[in-house]
Amino acid sequence: MKAAEAWGLLFAADDKGPLANLKINPLSIDKKGGQKSSLVEFIRPDRMVFLETNNEERVLTFPNFQDYGYGIFLLDNKSRDYVLKNIQNEKDDFLRTMMWGSLWDSVREAELDPKDYVELVIKRSECKL
């Protein structure tokens, strides 16, 4: 299985049904303290599946894709940066809405400056005033 195909499992389900839980754990740290690779655990009631990923190749990990979970699902720094720069390019209306919600959660959790969020809303607004 290619890494890109494996990441598809993160978003929805595998051939045995929905995944019960997901954890992303750092495996290696670079000299600056940044995470170079991760171990992703897909936890199901009957088994665990592990996938090692290279963080340099990964552009976005979107937890709670398709909104099946209940809770606050925060973006990691790399994913948040990607969403901030590319939210306007997302064609799927529902996923784009989820991205906006995740950015707002980042504001509420003091991970994103409210001013940056408001500026992005104004910049990416599809309404013409």
For the chain, domain boundaries: 1-58, 59-129
Find tokens 């529902």 and name the residue.
94
User: Which of 109, 42, 51, 50 minimizes the C-alpha distance to 77?
Assistant: 109
- The secondary element (H helix, E strand) that includes residue 25 is strand 21-29
pTM: 0.54
Contact by Cβ (8 Å): 49, 9: yes
What is the full per-residue pLDDT of the chain (129 aa) written as tens digits? 333 333 333 443 445 554 455 555 554 555 565 555 555 555 455 555 555 555 555 566 666 666 666 777 788 888 888 889 989 888 888 888 888 999 999 999 999 999 999 999 999 886 544
Amino acid sitting at position 7: W
Amino acid sitting at position 113: D
CA distances from 1 to 6, 51, 62, 88, 101 (A): 6, 10, 20, 30, 31
